[in-house]
Amino acid sequence: MRAVVGVDAGASHTEAVADVDGARAGSRWRGGPGAIQPGREAAAVTRWVEAVTGILPDGVGPTAVAVGAAGAGPDEVRRTAERLLAQAFGEATLVRVTTDGEIALEAAFPEGRPGIVVTAGSGSNAFARDAHGAVRRVGGLGRQFGDEGSGYALGRDAIAAVGRALDGRGPRTELTTRLTEAAAIGRPEELVPWARGTTPRAIAALARVVAETAETGDAIAAGLVADAAADLAAHVGALLPQLRAVSPVPVALNGGLLRPGSAVRTALLGLLRQRHAHVEVVEALVDPPLGALRLALALP
DSSP string for 18-55: EEETTEE-SSPEEES-----TT-HHHHHHHHHHHHHHH
**Contact at 8 Å (CB) between 54 and 91?**
no
How many CA within 13 A on the CB side of residue 130?
12
Q: pLDDT tier at 6 (50, 70, 90 boundaries)?
A: very high
- Dihedral sign (CA 44, 48, 49, 50): positive
> What CATH number should be reported for the domain holding residue 76?
3.30.420.40
Q: What is the per-residue pLDDT across 106-122, written as a single tens digit (0 to 9) for each?
A: 999 998 899 999 999 88
Q: Which residues contact 195 (CB under 8 A, 6 or more apart)?
A: 156, 159, 183, 203
Say what the pTM is: 0.86
List strand residue ranges (DSSP E) for the chain, in order: 3-9, 14-20, 23-24, 29-31, 64-69, 94-99, 115-120, 124-129, 135-139, 249-254, 279-282
**Contact at 8 Å (CB) between 85 and 45?**
yes
Q: What is the per-residue pLDDT across 20-61, written as a single tens digit (0 to 9) for each?
A: 988 777 778 999 989 898 888 999 999 999 999 999 988 888
Q: pLDDT tier at 277 (50, 70, 90 boundaries)?
A: confident
200-215 vs 219-239: helix axis angle to the nearest 10? 110
List the domain range (segments joined by +) for residue 102.
3-106+288-297
The answer to whether position 15 is within a domain reads yes
Residue of 236, 247, 239, 255 lying closest to 278 (CA atoms): 247
> Percentage of the chain surpassing pLDDT 70?
100
The answer to whether position 69 is within a domain reads yes
C-alpha span between 171 and 156 (Å, rounded): 17
Query: What's the total number of domains in the chain?
Result: 1
The answer to whether position 88 is within a domain reads yes
The answer to whether position 96 is within a domain reads yes
Q: pLDDT tier at 8 (50, 70, 90 boundaries)?
A: very high
The answer to whether position 125 is within a domain reads no
- Min mean pLDDT across 55-64, 135-144, 152-161, 226-235 is at 135-144
Backbone angles phi, psi at 282, to 5 degrees: -80, 125
The answer to whether position 8 is within a domain reads yes
pLDDT score at 1: 78
Q: pLDDT tier at 91 (50, 70, 90 boundaries)?
A: confident
The answer to whether position 72 is within a domain reads yes
The answer to whether position 193 is within a domain reads no
